[in-house]
Amino acid sequence: MLCKLNKLSDVIDYQLCCGCGVCAYLHPEFISIVDVPAFGRRPRYTNFSFDSSILKDAMQVCPGICLAHSKNVFNQKGLIASLLKNWGPVLEIWEAHAADPEIRFKGSSGGAITALALYCLEQENMTGVLHTVPDDEKPYCNKTVLSQNKIELLAGIGSRYSPASPCEKLYEVEKALQPCVVIGKPCDIAATQNVRKLKKRLDTNIGLTIACFCAGTPSTNGTLEMLRQMGVGDPNCISGLRYRGYGWPGMTTVQGENDDNCYYQALSYKESWGAILQKYRQWRCYICPDHTGEFADIAVGDPWYREPQKNELGQSLLLARTERGRQIISKAIASGYLMGNIKEAKILVASQPNLLKTRGRLWGQIAALKLFGVPHPSFKRFNLFSSWLFHLTFREKIASVAGTIKRIYRKKLKNRVSFE
């Protein structure tokens, strides 16, 4: 049974694709990214008149094949030692929010990502911000844009719990006149960091990378099921969908196409994500070691160490993972774009206990996949065995293996899946 991933088609067919779009960026003449509602965004060959060896560079940077920390990352001065094994490199932790009241209100957790991006545009002379926004024609889907001002940034503010492929538009960054900000999920940023090593112009033009914490990407079918439970009969007849924001964590709300006052049931974050969307996550997300943006300059998530209060505007947890990230956070605060305070390392552990458990399960999951000869990614320098050994109970350790064996058969992980 195949265990090694030899071709890009192996990554796709064995459900290991993250949907980041980096392969389409490298080879737009051969590959486009399409949405497969039951799985996520996937590469599709548009031209078959090429030798598969041409895609070697795509294989080299694909996060569905390998995620690997470089040795140099862990040699940075000032890293928080207590976080290194389970959370990756962290130089500093902030709890902060956008100083702009509109950005803070509309943002999913205090609007910090948008505030950082706006600071870079207005004070660091960056040309644009590559990020995900709702699709104009299908608001329950996403598209990637390069925003160049506050109005454009606000059009995409807030979390998007549906498939997105920001890396397919990295050519927008590559051709820009000045450096840009790249915002994405952890896997998107990992792919970006990989591919910039192959593209000198792209490398020069990446001024900052920001990753949002991510517990997994639900397929489009997840959003469609959520809309059905909200009372939407035809998802193509809505003009807007907001997963969060307008308070913290905010409600999931829908806007009708022809009637602004048309009523659909609003869902809380626990109802939309907790009860519906998370059940539709793609398989690759279940076996991911990086849910907190370990390859980014700055990673941003929710400070769930406490329950949100009624009508609270929200805060963000900011992890400065590189010196570049730390400098940008400090200058954004000094310039009045952010308001916040430095926090102790324990706030991260208290805020994201589920992600610590998720990482802890991974060694047992990979062991089960290896035992049954199921293709899987390679993860290097993530200390997975240590997380499995020290952060799971005995029962959880057994479950990490047994549960994966069940998924092998339930999800047919030993078989290729056709996405045509």
DSSP state string for 344-364: -THHHHHH-HHHHHHHHHHHH
Q: Cα dist. 127→42, 98, 175, 335 in Å?
A: 29, 21, 11, 19
Whether 379 maps to a domain, the answer reads: no
Whether 6 maps to a domain, the answer reads: no
Whether 204 maps to a domain, the answer reads: yes
Whether 36 maps to a domain, the answer reads: no
CB–CB of 83/90 below 8 Å? Answer: yes
β-strands 92-98, 316-320 pairing:
antiparallel
- How far, in Å, CA of 33 to CA of 17, rounded? 11
293: domain CATH number is 3.40.640
The 10s digit of each residue's pLDDT in 153-207 is: 999 999 999 999 999 999 999 999 999 999 999 999 999 999 999 999 999 999 9
- How far, in Å, CA of 106 to CA of 247, rounded? 7
Q: Cα dist. 89→67, 103, 276, 331, 342 in Å?
A: 15, 28, 32, 21, 16
Whether 136 maps to a domain, the answer reads: yes
Whole domain around residue 187: which residue ranges?
Answer: 83-218+281-351
Encoded tokens for 287? 């076996």
Amino acid identity of residue 104, one-letter, is: R
> Mind listing the pLDDT tens digit of every residue in the chain (420 residues)?
456 788 899 999 999 999 999 999 999 999 999 999 999 999 999 887 766 778 899 999 999 999 999 988 888 899 999 999 999 999 999 999 999 999 999 999 999 999 999 999 999 999 999 999 999 999 999 999 999 999 999 999 999 999 999 999 999 999 999 999 999 999 999 999 999 999 999 999 999 999 999 999 999 999 999 999 999 999 999 999 999 999 999 999 999 876 555 678 999 999 999 999 999 999 999 999 999 999 999 999 999 999 998 889 999 999 999 999 999 999 999 999 999 999 999 999 999 999 999 999 999 999 999 999 999 999 999 999 999 999 999 999 999 999 999 999 999 999 999 766
Q: How many distinct structural domains can be found in the chain?
A: 1
The 10s digit of each residue's pLDDT in 117-134 is: 999 999 999 999 999 999
